[in-house]
Amino acid sequence: MRAAVVVFPGTWSDGDCVWALAQCGIESRKVWHTDETAFEADELVVLPGGFSYGDYLRTGAIARFSPVMEAVARHAEAGGLVIGICNGFQILCEAGLLPGVLMRNDSLQFRCQDVYLVPVNQTSPFLAHIDPSRGYLMPVSHGEGRYVADEATLAMLEDTDRVAFRYAEADGTVTPDANPNGSANNIAGILNERGNVLGMMPHPERACEALLGNEDGNVIWRSVLEAVGVTA
C-alpha cells in the first residue's frame, strides 16, 4: 500500500506524516495542491495539518478550491481512503466531504497538549482493527478545533455510527474534562457515510515512535493495513 500526502501553501505536517507512515511500512509521495492528476485507486490520501493559505478567511476556506481537491473528491467517491488531520479535517469540511465545521476553541486559546481518544466506530477501515476499550494518547495543536454542527447533523452522525473518535480519559471514559476545545459530544473525528473518509483534529503522526513519547497514533495506519490485507 502507498500513500499520497497533499501539500498546500502553509502545510507543515507533510514531512511528519511521511515519516509516521514509514514507521508502518507505508511508502508515501507528496502531491502539490495544483496537481489535478487522479490518485491511484489503492492509495491512502492524506491531508496533513498546518495553516493552508495562512488560514485567511477561515480555516480551509481557500484550500478547498485548490485543483487537487477535485481529485480528492473523485477518489473518495470511488471508495478510496482519505484522511484529513487537523487543518486537513477543516479542509474536508469546507469542501463538503464531511459535515459540520471547526470553530474557535471554547477557551478562545490555542491548545497544544496531549489528549486521549477513544474509538467509537468499529467498521471503517481506519478503526475496524483498533481496540475500543481504552484511550489512545495523541497531541492536539489548534486554535479552531471545536467541532460544531446543528442538532439534526449531530443526531445523524450518532445514529449512523459516523463518530470516529471522542475525547476521553486514559481508560476510555468520555468526560467533559477530557474535551480540550468544547467540541459537541466530545467529537474528535468523524466519518463520511461510506466510512472511507476520516477527519480528525488530533495528530496521529506526532505519536508514531517511542522517541516522541508513544506510538498510539500508529493504530490508525495499522488498522488501514489490516483492512486492505497488508501486514504492518
Residue 52 C-alpha cell reads as 493552508
Cell numbers linked to 200 = 480528525
Nearest to 220 by CA among 176, 177, 178, 189: 189
Confirm whether 36 is a catalytic residue.
no
CA 203 to chain centre: 8
Question: Global pTM?
Answer: 0.95
- Mean pLDDT, rounded, for 49-65: 90
Q: What domains does the chain contain, in order, with CATH numbers?
A: 2-227 (3.40.50.880)
Q: Is residue 205 annotated as part of the catalytic site, yes or no?
A: yes
**pLDDT score recorded for residue 55:** 84
The pLDDT of residue 57 = 81
Closest CA to 18 of 48, 50, 42, 41: 48
Is position 169 annotated as part of the catalytic site? no
pLDDT of residue 213: 86
Interatomic CA distance for residues 190 and 81, integer angstroms: 14
Lowest mean pLDDT among 4-18, 54-68, 95-109, 134-148: 54-68
Q: 227 or 37: whose pLDDT is higher? A: 227
Residues 102-142 pLDDT 10s: 999 999 899 999 999 999 999 999 999 999 999 999 999 99
Confidence label for 232 from pLDDT (cuts 50, 70 and 90): low
Q: State pLDDT tens for residues 71-107.
A: 999 999 999 999 999 999 999 999 999 999 999 999 9
Q: Which of 142, 203, 208, 215 is catalytic?
A: 203
- Show the 3-state SS of the chain: CEEEEEECCCECCHHHHHHHHHHCCCEEEEEECCCCCCCCCCCEEEECCECHHHHCCCCCCCHHHCCHHHHHHHHHHCCCEEEEECHHHHHHHHCCCCCCEEECCCCCCCEEEEEEEEECCCCCCCCCCCCCCCCEEEEEEECCCEEECCHHHHHHHHHCCCEEEEEECCCCCCCHHHCCCCCHHHEEEEECCCCCEEEECCCHHHCCEHHHCECCCHHHHHHHHHHCCCCC
The overall average pLDDT reported for the chain is: 95
Determine which one of 17, 43, 75, 86 is catalytic: 86
Residue 18, pLDDT > 90, answer yes
Gyration radius of the chain over CA positions: 16
Round to whole Å and give the CA distance between 201 and 182.
Answer: 12
Which conformational region is residue 131 in: left (phi greater than 0), alpha (psi within -120 to 50 degrees), or beta?
Answer: beta
User: 43, 94, 144, 205: which is the annotated catalytic residue?
Assistant: 205
**What is the distance between the alpha carbons of residues 156 and 162, in angstroms, rounded to a whole number?**
8
Residues 6+ apart with CB under 8 A from 206: 16, 20, 138, 139, 141, 212, 217
Q: In angstroms, what CA-CA distances link 77 with 71, 102, 152, 197, 206?
A: 10, 23, 24, 10, 29
